């Protein structure tokens, strides 16, 4: 029962940006760089979705605002000194 309330954890994958041939990424070209949690919140009045990208310790790494008109704004938080 307590598993129903956990946020899903996704593997974050990085791959060479130079891969442009087709829609398939071969496993040899991809690297797992960490794990992340993604939550989506929506404001009903302004039709703005807020996407929070967190690490496994619930530290927010990225905030993305998506407007229904197609505009997107992203804030990336870097905690390194």
Please check whether residue 68 lies inside any domain of the structure: yes
- Residue 73 banded pLDDT, cuts 50, 70, 90: very high
Please check whether residue 66 lies inside any domain of the structure: yes
Residues whose CB is less than 8 angstroms from the CB of residue 40 and which lie 6 or more positions away in sequence, other chains included: 49, 50, 51, 52
Q: 14-67 pLDDT, tens per residue?
A: 877 666 667 777 777 788 888 888 888 887 777 888 888 888 888 888 999 988
Backbone CA torsion sign across 59, 51, 75, 16? positive
pLDDT at position 17: 65
Please check whether residue 46 lies inside any domain of the structure: yes
Residue identified by tokens 């130079």 is 18
Mean pLDDT for the stretch of residues 64-74: 88
pLDDT at position 4: 60
| Structural domain count, the chain | 1
Please check whether residue 81 lies inside any domain of the structure: no
pLDDT at position 74: 92
Provide the domain limits for residue 42.
2-76
At residue 77, does pLDDT exceed 70?
yes
């Amino acid at each position: 029962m307590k598993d129903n309330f956990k946020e899903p954890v996704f593997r974050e994958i990085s791959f060479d940006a130079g891969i442009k041939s087709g829609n398939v990424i071969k496993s040899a070209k991809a690297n797992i760089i960490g794990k992340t949690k993604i939550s989506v919140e929506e404001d009903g009045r302004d039709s703005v979705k807020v996407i929070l990208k967190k690490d496994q310790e619930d530290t927010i790494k990225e905030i993305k605002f998506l407007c229904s008109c197609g505009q997107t704004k992203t804030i990336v938080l870097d905690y390194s000194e």
